[in-house]
Amino acid sequence: MFFQNKKYKPWKKKDFVLSILQVVIHAIILLGLFAVETVLDKGGNGFIAFITDEKTLYNVVYAVIVVFSICTITYLYYFYEYRDFLTRAKNIAVLFISIELSFLLCIIMGHFSGIFTRPCTLCALLVLLLINHRSAVFVNLMFNTLLVSMDLLCQVDFEIARVLGSFITGVVTGHLAVYLVNNVGSRIKVFGMGFIIAIAASLFAFVFSLEPGITILDILFVIAQAFTSGLSSIVVLMALLPIFEYIFNMLTNYRLSEITDHKSKLISRLIEEAPGTFQHSLVVSTLAETCATAIGENPILARACAYYHDMGKLKQPDHFTENQHGSNPHDDLAPELSTQIIRDHATNGYDIIKKHHLPLILADVAREHHGTLPIQYFYNKALKYTEGDLDIKDFSYAGPKPSTKVSAIIMLADGCEAAVRAQNDRSRDKVAKVVNAIVEDRLKLEQFSDCDITMREIDIIRNSLIDSLSGVYHERVQYDKMKDKRFNMFDNSKKS
């Protein structure tokens, strides 16, 4: 699952060369798949006749134009919409391998079972879960265009109406699959969505199979083929996802659910070694999930980032307030050393998460969630021991600043939760005052200058945090003490 900042990093010449070269290589692979379809469709002898036919040159030119046009359009789409996506070879590989595997499976199933049995929604679903939903909608259209182009070139035995019907079925059911499966966090629920996709594909297949002279048995056969197509897309998707997750270290909602399980390795360590930090992370995860939902970001990702944002505190958990019980190690340390320990938890978190081969977005958020904020307490403490001026940068986090909206959400949720928890008065008015002060402070220090979050979204996050924190730390009703003598054992005001 790919998330990135719309404020693009500057490109170098090698970025253009490498990204274009990769796309060209995958275009050649797709042309090879066209050749595979020709061999399957015409057989060995037929293929020889095909390549010696005078129309072969036309067919080759046709295939080259189609494939390179679709690859060029796809490249331009990502260049203008998700430019940073193209700077990583892994991203391009994931995108085109998803297309190529789906294309190959459609070729095989279409050849042996029929045009309506092809898993036309598979490509859209892979891109949805491995990249994002906007990409899935775009790639679904490009993939089905590629598929219908192949049909028109190679599947000469199919009627044009049926080929176009298959194209429309693929586009519509692919789009439907994207919106049905998007943000579904359970693999079982995805299987349930597969039946809806299968029913939709069956309806389209029924409409496009109607022709003079067709029998009921033929219609039922086509409907059964289309129903199989819908279900097979989901089955193959579930089989391929773990492979992509493992090979490319990709992030999906299902993997997010797995790595936020309390039995996972790092979470278990956090519970055991830094219980205060874990409790803080739990509250931040609730806040982050609510904020992400409010501005249209992925709430499951926000929750996972919140779980891992303070993982760097595992290195020296007793040096952080929430894990202390009475004594404070910082009382015996110089302010400069205390600052270094506090500051390092951001970079330590990044290193720990990468060491355990967890998704990069979690590591990035762990490093970015304090941005370049000053550690004011130890800066003020250091001022008491010096007569000269101190450079505030020496008492600030190293950064970088948040580069994504989710990272910005974690920064605000983390700061607001800690500040509100430290207050004796947690009424709604006081919570609102604290949250507003935290937000304005981050804005004043330009902590969101490297991500594309808007002021409107910040205001939505601000209001969401006020509502959520008022609920988490609401005032409790003070009940009278029990008068029944049976409950005197709980009354510590008297000594026996």
Per DSSP, the three-state class of 149 is helix
Q: Is residue 338 part of a domain?
A: yes
178 and 146 both lie in a single domain = yes
- Enter the DSSP assignment of 374: B
188 and 298 both lie in a single domain = no
Q: Is residue 486 part of a domain?
A: no
28 and 168 both lie in a single domain = yes
Q: Is residue 479 part of a domain?
A: no
Which residues are within 8 A (CB) of 428 and not within 5 positions of it... i.e. 6 or more apart? 466, 470
- The answer to whether 127 and 135 have CB atoms below 8 angstroms apart is yes
pLDDT score for 494: 40
pLDDT score for 76: 95
Q: Tokens standing for 485? A: 């003598």
pLDDT score for 245: 87
What pLDDT digit, counting tens, does each position of 6-43 carry? Answer: 556 678 888 889 999 999 999 999 998 888 877 776 66
Examine the fold and report which residue of 203, 219, 251 is the final residue of a domain before the chain moves on. 251
Examine the fold and report which residue of 206, 229, 251 is the final residue of a domain before the chain moves on. 251
| Spatial CA neighbour of 324 closest among 333, 308, 313, 312 | 313
Q: Which residues of the chain have pLDDT under 50?
A: 156, 477, 487, 489-490, 492-496
203 and 277 both lie in a single domain = no
Q: Which amino acid is at 96?
A: F
202 and 293 both lie in a single domain = no
Q: Is residue 482 part of a domain?
A: no
Which domain range does residue 179 map to?
13-251
142 and 102 both lie in a single domain = yes
Q: Is residue 135 part of a domain?
A: yes
291 and 167 both lie in a single domain = no
Q: Which amino acid is at 111?
A: H
What are 374's strand-pairing partners? 396
Examine the fold and report which residue of 210, 230, 251 is the final residue of a domain before the chain moves on. 251
What are 396's strand-pairing partners? 374
Q: How many domains in the chain?
A: 2
Q: Please give the Cα distance from 40 to 210 (Å, whole number).
A: 27
pTM, full prediction? 0.79
pLDDT score for 151: 82
| Spatial CA neighbour of 462 closest among 437, 436, 441 | 436
Q: Please give the Cα distance from 347 to 55 (Å, whole number).
A: 62
Q: Which amino acid is at 275?
A: P
Q: Please give the Cα distance from 22 to 37 (Å, whole number).
A: 23
- Sign, CA dihedral 42-46-48-54, equals negative
141 and 165 both lie in a single domain = yes
217 and 284 both lie in a single domain = no
CA diameter of the chain: 109
Which residues are within 8 A (CB) of 470 and not within 5 positions of it... i.e. 6 or more apart? 426, 428, 431, 432
Give me the CATH number covering residue 317.
1.10.3210
Q: Tokens standing for 456? A: 């409107």
33 and 160 both lie in a single domain = yes
pLDDT score for 192: 85
pLDDT score for 487: 45
What pLDDT digit, counting tens, does each position of 128-159 carry? Answer: 999 988 999 999 999 999 998 888 876 545 56
410 and 292 both lie in a single domain = yes
Q: Is residue 494 part of a domain?
A: no
Q: Is residue 44 part of a domain?
A: yes
148 and 245 both lie in a single domain = yes
Per DSSP, the three-state class of 405 is helix
Which residues are within 8 A (CB) of 29 and not within 5 positions of it... i.e. 6 or more apart? 96, 100
Measured in whole angstroms, how far is the alpha carbon of residue 63 from the centre of its chain?
34
Per DSSP, the three-state class of 396 is strand
- The answer to whether 143 and 103 have CB atoms below 8 angstroms apart is yes
Radius of gyration of the chain from its Cα atoms, rounded to whole angstroms: 29
Q: Is residue 103 part of a domain?
A: yes
Measured in whole angstroms, how far is the alpha carbon of residue 43 from the centre of its chain?
43
Work out the angle between the directed axes of helices 455-472 and 405-421 (0-180°, nearest 10). 40
